[in-house]
Structure 1
Amino acid sequence: MKTAVFIGRFQPPHLAHLETISRALECFDRLIVVLGSAYCYPTPKNPFSAEARAAMIRASLGTEAARLQFVAIADDYYDDPRWFRTVRAAVEALAGPQARISITGYDKDESSYYLHGFGDWPFEPSGVVSPLSATEVRNSYFGGSTDWKAMVPQAVQQYMQEFATTLEFKRLQDEWRTIQHYRALERHYPYPILHVATDAFVLAQEQVLLVERNGALGKGAWALPGGYLEPQETLLASALRALREETGLALEAQHPKATQAFDYPGRSLRGRVISLGHFFELEEAPALANEGAFWLPLSELERHQARFFEDHYQQICWFLGRAPHQPALSQGKELL
C-alpha cells in the first residue's frame, strides 16, 4: 500500500495544509499526518491539542478523511536523532510492514530539514506553494483581526470561533499581547538580545520540586524553580537564589550534581533565552512553606507531561536520562 507521511504542527490547519492533504490522497492509498508539538502546555504558538487539530482536519475533508490517519509526537529538542526514530516507529506501527512509505510536503526553508531525514523514505514534493503561514493566522486571531478567517477551511473557522469564547482563549490572548510587547521593546535594539536564565532541578525521595506559574506567561503551568541571571551573580548563585525565592528551600553552598545548558533556539516565546539547568539531589524532601511550590512523584511525571512550562519537562527527562514520553506511540495505535 502506497503511504504518504505529512509532518507539521498545524496550529491551526490552514488552506495550504488542506490542499497538501487533498493532493496526497489523490496520489497515495493512505496518508498519515504526524501532529508535532503534542502533549505540551497550550501557548500562543501551540494553542490547540493534538486531538483538536486532528478533529479540525477530519471535519475539513469530508469523505476523504476515511484514508487519513494521525499520530501525535511530542517535541524532543535535545535529541534530534531520537525524534526521527520516534516518528519512524509511530508511522511504521500504523502503516504495517508491507507499506511503501514516502514523505510529502513543501521544502520551504531550513525549517523543512526533516523532510530529508528519514533515509529510505523518498521525499515527494506536494506541489503546493503558498504564502500562507500558521503564524500569520495566529497573529490575526489573537490580535483581534478577522483576516484569519479567509486563511482556514470553514470547519477550522467554526472551531476557532467557538474556542474564542473560552477562558483559555482569553489567557492565551493575554499571553500573546505580552509577547508582542517584548518583541516591540527588542526592535529598539540594533542587535539580537540574548537572555541568560537558570533553572533548578531538585530531586529527593523520587520526587521533583516544582512551582506553579502565576505570571503573564504560562500561567497555571508547572515549572522548575528558576529565573533570569542578575548582573552580579554567578550562574550557581542565580539558581540557588531562584530556588530560595520561589520555594523557600535554601541550599546555600550546595553544589549541583550536574549542570546542562538548554539552548534550543525556540525553547521560549519570551525571546532567545538560554538556561543553565542545575541538578541537586537531596536525601529527604523537606516541607515547603511557599504557596505554589510542591513535590511531584516521578511516577506521576509522564501523566502530567502536558502541564509543563516551555522545555522544563524535557530538562527533567534529560537529567533523568529518559526520553520524552510518547503516549500515542506507547499505545501502538492511531490518535483518534
Structure 2
Amino acid sequence: MIPSADPSPHTAVLIGRFQPWHNGHMALLQAALAQAREVIVVLGSAHQARNPKNPFTWQERAAMVQSALAPAERVRVHCIPVRDHYDEERWVAAVRQGVQALVPAGAAVALVGHFKDHSSSYLQRFPGWTLLSLPRLGAFDGTPLRESYWNFDDAPRSEVLAALAPQVPAPVLDFLQSWMDTPDYDAMREEAAMLRSYHASWASAPYPPVLVTVDAVMLCNGHLLLIERGHAPGKGLWALPGGFVEPRDTLWQACLRELEEETACAVDAAMLAAALQGVRVFDHPDRSLRGRAITHVHVFDLGNRAQLPAVQGGDDAALARWVPLAQVPALETRFFEDHFHVVQSCLEGFCAIRLPV
C-alpha cells in the first residue's frame, strides 16, 4: 500500500462531558472538522444517573451535538459514550477501544483540546495520537452556565434563556428550554440548591473538608444488598449501604452501624466479621459532588444460604433490597455517585466476578 501524501489526520477526537454542549465546544469541533476527515466526540460520564453536574444523558448530549451541525457535517461526526470508571488507566483504554472501533487500521488520529486546568491532563495520556492543542476559543464554561440554568434566584424564565442564548447553539437553547418543563429539571434544580447550601455551610472552615465515609458491599447467594436513597442528593437512586464516620467511630464500627441503621440486616457482628473479604479505599477527587469524600468499602460474602437475611430500609434509606447480581448491570444508570463502579471493582478484586457492561 502506498502511503497517503495527505499529512492531515484521518480522525480527530474531542473528549469531554459537554454538560451542556456550548459554543466553546462548537468552536473546537469546527477546528477539528477543518483538520480531519472524520471527528469522534467522546461523551464522558456516560451511563451515570443524572446529577446537577451531569444532568443530561449521553444520548441527549449526542443529540445536542448533531443538532448544531449542518447536514454535510453530521455524516462526518460520530458520538460515542464512555464511562468515567474512576480509574484513569481503565478510562484511557475504554476511550482507545471506542475510537479504534470507528477508525480504519493504521489511520492517523489526532486529539483536539486545550489545556484549561488540571482537568485537561488527560490530553497527555494518549501516546501515538497527535495532540492538537488549541487556545481557548471563547470565554465559555459549563459550570457557570449550569449555575445560570438552575436559576437559584427564581428569575423569570425569559431572563434565564436570554443569559444562555449567547453561550449555546440555537438548537441546544431550544432543548434547554423544553427540558425546563420536565420533572428531571425540577429534581436537578432542587438537588443543585441542596448541594449549594451544603457547600456554603463549610465556607468558614480554614481549608476544604475531606469527608470520611464507609460503605458495604454485601453478597449472599448471588445477590447484592442495595438501598434506595430516601433524601437528596441522589434521592430515589440505588446505593450501597453506608454513611459518614462519626467522631468516636472506628471504620469497622461505622460500617456495622450504617448497616444496622439503613438495612436492619439480620446478621450479627461476629458473622459479619467472619464474612469480611477485605476493605478497599475509593478516593477519586471527583467521586462525590458533596466534596472530597474518601470511602472505605467493606466487602462481605455471606455465602450460600437457604434464605437471604431479612432487611428493611431505615434512616436515610427509603428501601433495602437484595438484588440478583445478574440484574445489577441494568441498574447502572440509577446508581448514586460512583457506587456502580465501586461494586464492579470490588466484585472483580475480591470475588473474581466480572459484571457484563
TM-score (normalised: structure 1): 0.93
* 1:248-296 Cα deviation digits (max 9, x unpaired): 1143232221101111111111111111110111123213233611111
Q: CA deviation at 1:62?
A: 2.0
User: What do residues 10-31 of structure 1 show as CA deviations (whole Å, max 9, x unaligned)?
Assistant: 0001100011101111121000
Q: Name segments (4+ residues, structure 1) moved above 6 Å.
A: 322-326
CA distance in 1, matches of 2:283, 2:174: 37
Distance in 2 of aligned mates of 1:212 and 1:17: 36
Deviations 1:85-142 (A, max 9, x none): 1110110011121421110011212211111111100101234433311111111101
8 Å Cα contact 1:199-1:275 kept in structure 2? yes
CA distance in 2, matches of 1:324, 1:282: 19
Within the candidate set 190, 212, 216, 2:232 is matched to 216
2:268 to 216, 231, 251: 251
Pick one of 110, 116, 128 that aligns with 2:124: 116
Identity of aligned residues (%): 37
- Asked if 1:171 corresponds to 2:187, the answer is yes
Which stretches in structure 1 are left out of the alignment for 5+ residues?
Answer: 328-336
TM-score (norm: length of structure 2)? 0.87
Partner Cα distance (1:113, 1:289) in 2:
44
Question: Is 2:99 the counterpart of 1:76?
Answer: no
* Partner amino acid, structure 2, of 1:230: E
Instruction: Specify the SS of the correspondent of 2:293.
Output: strand
Matched, 1:23 2:31: yes
Corresponding position of 2:6: none
Q: Which amino acid aligns with 2:310?
A: A
Give the letter for the 1:180 counterpart: R
Which range is displaced more, 60-69 or 209-218?
A: 60-69
In the TM superposition, 1:233-252 aligns within 5 A as: 233-249=249-265, 250-252=267-269
CA drift of 1:326 comes to 8.6
Distance between the aligned counterparts of 1:25 and 1:36, measured in 2? 20
Is 1:74–1:325's contact at 8 Å kept on the other side of the alignment? no
Q: Work out the CA distance in 2 between the residues paired with 1:142 and 1:51.
A: 21
Query: Measured at CA, do residues 125 and 139 of structure 1 come closer, stay the same or move farther in structure 2, by a change above 3 Å?
Result: same
**8 Å contact kept, 1:223–1:308:** yes
Q: Kindly indicate whether the alpha-carbon contact (under 8 Å) linking 1:240 and 1:251 is maintained by their aligned counterparts in 2.
A: no
Q: Distance in 1 between matches of 2:60 and 2:209?
A: 35
Give, in whole Å, the separation in 2 of the partners of 1:65 and 1:326.
31
Question: Which is bigger in relative contact order (C-alpha 8 A, separation at least 6)?
Answer: 1
Q: Name 2:4's counterpart in structure 1.
A: none
Alignment of 1:10-89 (within 5 A): 10-63=18-71, 64-77=73-86, 79-89=87-97
Which position in structure 1 is the counterpart of 2:3?
A: none
Q: CA deviation at 1:194?
A: 1.3
The amino acid across from 1:251 in the alignment is D
Distance, in Å, in 1 between the alignment partners of 2:278 and 2:41 is 38
Instruction: Indicate the structure (1 or 2) with the bigger Cα radius of gyration.
Output: 2
Amino acid in the other structure paired with 1:21: L
Shift of 1:324: 8.8
What is the one-letter code of the residue matched to 2:269? Answer: E
Residue matched to 1:332: none
Q: Does 1:201 align with 2:224?
A: no
Distance 1:142 1:171 in 2: 10
Note the aligned Cα RMSD (angstroms): 1.7
Corresponding position: 1:132 with 2:140: yes
Q: Distance in 1 between matches of 2:36 and 2:312?
A: 59
Q: Is the 8 A contact 1:199 1:277 kept in 2?
A: yes
Residue equivalent to 1:334 = none
- Code of the residue aligned with 1:277 in structure 2: it is V
Aligned ranges 1:135-150 → 2 under 5 Å: 135-144=143-152, 146=160, 147-150=163-166
Measured after TM superposition, the shift of residue 186 of structure 1 is 1.3
Judged with a 3 Å threshold, the aligned counterparts in structure 2 of structure 1 residues 170 and 325 are, in CA distance, closer, same or farther, namely: farther
